[in-house]
């Protein structure tokens, strides 16, 4: 009986110790994100007829008047950072060259091989761009137009070859490109990634991304494929276990992790209920954080969220 009572107390004390001894300092000023409109994966291909997360899509979005861009980064097998979203396969975005198969993905290909892949939509982009190539194009555009654009960089750290180096590289990339400090945010669903980024470079503004049922979605996409090897008796309880973990993960991501990680912004997925979303925006702001709302394609909702100083991520530059 004493053991049963002491176990929860021990867990609480351990959490308290970790929180107060490893908590990161609060994020630097992220007010540059207030009330801005940015393009999700640059701009949706349905509007631009350009591949998302591409340089041409980024240029299109900026020329259409977006305040900035959201894009995804992944690490190649030889630790080069590419702009790409899909964590599993490139076959839905790219033409598969000879010698490769439809299961090829960024994380199990070398950079020299990735540059053999071409986007399916023809537009001048031959392959998924590297981070330096992408940032150079944005910087060239903003310099020539004497404008400042917002960058929301989401880490997709799905590595199949050991410890990802992407977080250390991002921390160093900001040191090498200091103009990013007051116009870019590094974001992720992964608390571990955000912790490492902030630990390596405290000057970077970070954002935790939250989403209800995210573990269930990842599970359905096969990202927990090793669990399928477990005995049947364990797999029978997986759906319920994941449902419970999802609820705990979301609660933790909204209430505990932002302070522990020292983030400057919390990103949440909006609903179709504008008033509910506005209440969430106000609640997050009352705790001292900036807010990113995604993905918002309703014109009225965009306007109202921006009026309330939220960063709005949208698929389209034009009203839907």
For the packed helices 299-307 and 274-286, what is the interaxial angle rounded to 10 degrees? Answer: 20
pLDDT digits 0-9 by tens, 229-274: 666 545 667 777 788 888 888 999 999 999 999 999 999 999 989 9
CA distance 70 to 88: 20
Supply the Cα-derived Rg of the chain in whole angstroms: 20
Q: What is the pLDDT, as a whole number, of residue 15?
A: 75
Q: What residue ranges do the domains of the chain occupy?
A: 34-314
Angle at 211 between CA 208 and CA 216, to 5 degrees: 125
CA distance 201 to 155: 15
Task: Give the predicted TM-score (pTM) of the model.
Answer: 0.90
Are the C-beta atoms of residues 228 and 235 closer than 8 Å to each other? yes
- Band the pLDDT of 281: cuts 50, 70, 90: very high
Residue-averaged pLDDT of the chain: 88
CATH of domain 34-314: 3.20.20.190
Task: State whether residue 37 is helix, strand or coil.
Answer: strand
Residue 157 has pLDDT above 70, yes or no: no
Q: What is the pLDDT, as a whole number, of residue 16?
A: 74
User: Of the ranges 20-24, 118-122, 257-261, which is most confident?
Assistant: 257-261
Q: What is the pLDDT, as a whole number, of residue 26?
A: 84
Averaged pLDDT, 87-95: 78
Q: What is the pLDDT, as a whole number, of residue 227?
A: 56
Residue 210 has pLDDT above 80, yes or no: yes
């Amino acid at each position: 009986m004493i053991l049963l009572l002491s176990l929860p107390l021990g867990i609480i004390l351990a959490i308290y110790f970790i929180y107060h001894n490893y908590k990161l300092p609060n994020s630097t000023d992220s007010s540059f994100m207030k009330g801005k409109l940015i393009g999700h994966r640059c701009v949706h291909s349905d509007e631009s007829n350009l591949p998302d997360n591409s340089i041409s899509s980024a240029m299109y979005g900026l020329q259409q008047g977006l305040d900035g861009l959201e894009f995804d980064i992944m690490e190649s097998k030889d630790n080069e950072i590419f702009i790409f979203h899909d964590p599993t396969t490139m076959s839905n975005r790219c033409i598969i060259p000879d010698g490769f198969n439809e299961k090829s993905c960024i994380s199990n290909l070398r950079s020299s091989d990735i540059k053999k892949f071409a986007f399916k939509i023809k537009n001048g982009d031959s392959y998924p761009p590297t981070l330096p190539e992408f940032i150079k194009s944005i910087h060239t555009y903003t310099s020539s137009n004497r404008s400042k654009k917002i960058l929301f960089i989401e880490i997709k750290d799905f590595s199949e070859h050991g410890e990802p180096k992407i977080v250390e590289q991002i921390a160093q990339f900001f040191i090498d490109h200091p103009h990013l400090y007051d116009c870019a945010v590094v974001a992720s669903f992964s608390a571990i990634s955000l912790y490492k980024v902030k630990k390596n470079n405290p000057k970077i503004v970070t954002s935790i991304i939250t989403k209800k049922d995210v573990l269930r979605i990842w599970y359905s996409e096969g990202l927990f494929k090793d669990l399928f090897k477990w005995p049947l008796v364990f797999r029978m309880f997986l759906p319920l276990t994941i449902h419970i973990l999802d609820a705990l993960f979301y609660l933790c991501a909204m209430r505990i992790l932002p302070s522990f990680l020292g983030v400057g912004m919390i990103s949440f997925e909006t609903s179709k209920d504008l008033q509910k979303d506005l209440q969430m925006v106000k609640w997050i702001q009352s705790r001292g954080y900036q807010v990113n709302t995604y993905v918002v394609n309703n014109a009225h909702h965009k306007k109202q969220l921006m009026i309330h100083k939220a960063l709005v991520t949208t698929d389209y530059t034009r009203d839907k």
